Structure 1
Amino acid sequence: MFPNDISDLAAAVIAAAAEHGWTIATAESCTGGLVSGALTAVAGSSAVIDRGFVTYSNTAKIELLGVPATMLEVHGAVSEPVARAMAQGARDRARTDLSVSITGIAGPGGGSAEKPVGLVHFGCASLSGVGHQRHVFEGMDREGVRLASIRVALGLLLEACGAR
C-alpha cells in the first residue's frame, strides 16, 4: 500500500517503541491519517498505536486537541506553535508516551508568499518535551508533499525512540 521506504520506517518505529514499551498517538492535518495508516499497516502495531486524530479543520484542532483558538487566529493552522500544540494535545489526550503532528499546505492551491504550497510543520511530543521541524517540499504535487510528510513524521518518531 505504501512505498517500501515508508513501510520500512513504520516497521522500525513500531519495533523501537515496542522495545521501550511506549505508545504513540498521531495528530494529522494535511496527511489525513496516512501516518497512522502506515503505522497500523505493520503487524503488531496494536501494542504501540493508541489512536490517530485527523484534525483537518481548525474546529477539530480546537475540540479534539485543545489547540487554543487565539493561537490559530494569530499564527494560522500551518505554523510552529500550532504543530507543537497539536503534538502535545494528542499526547495529553491519548495519554501516550509519544505523539507526532503534521500541519501543512499540500496544494495544489492554498499557498501564499508567506506560506507556500509544500510548507509543512511537524511536532513531536515525548516525556522530554515537544520538538518541531519545518520543511518546504518544493516542486512536488499534492501526493509528493503528503508522502514526504509521512517520511519526516516517521523519522521524528524513530528519533524520539532513540533509534535514529
Structure 2
Amino acid sequence: MKRINIKLARREKIIVSAGACFLGLFLLLHLLVFPFFSSRSKLHRSIEVDEQRLKEIMLLSSEFKALQGSSGGMGKALAGRGKGFTLFSLLEKLASQAGLKDRIKYIKPSTSQAKGKYKISSVEMQFEAITMRQLFDYLYRIEDPKNIIKIKRISIKKRKEKSGHVDATLQISTVQLA
C-alpha cells in the first residue's frame, strides 16, 4: 500500500488539528455525555412518577381498609335481619302498612348469584290507581336506613280514568347474606 504524504503549512496543520479535536469532542459529547445525562433525567422522572403512584396506592389502600371496616358494620346489620328475611315479604308488609296491598298488580322477585358473602335480591312491583301521597308514604317506609334497601328504578304513569291517581312500577333491591 502506498503511503500518501501530504505537505501542509503550519497554519493548515493547526486548522486540521483543531477540526479533528472539534470532531472528537462532538462525538464524545453526543455518544457518551448527552446520553448519560438524558438517561439520568429520565430515571429521575421515572422515580418521581413511581413515588406519585406509590402515594396513590397507599391512599387507595387506606380507603380500602376503611371500606372493609364499614362493610363489617353492614354485615352486622344484615345478620340482624334474621335467617328468614326476604325482600319480597318485607315489601309486601310495608305495602300493607301503607294501605296499598290491594293495589298491587304484580310482584316479581329475582336473586343474583352470590359473590363472596353477599347476594343481591331484587323485586319489581307495580301498583295500580294509587295517589301520589300513598306512593310517597310507601317510598318513605322503604327508604328506612335500617332496611338497607335501594330503589333502582321508578316509573310513574298518570291514569286517565281517575284524576289524581297514578300507576307506579318500582324496581327495588337489597344486599343479603349468601
Structure number with the higher strand fraction is: 2
TM-score, with structure 2 as normaliser? 0.23
Q: TM-score, normalised by structure 1?
A: 0.24
Greater CA radius of gyration, 1 or 2? 2
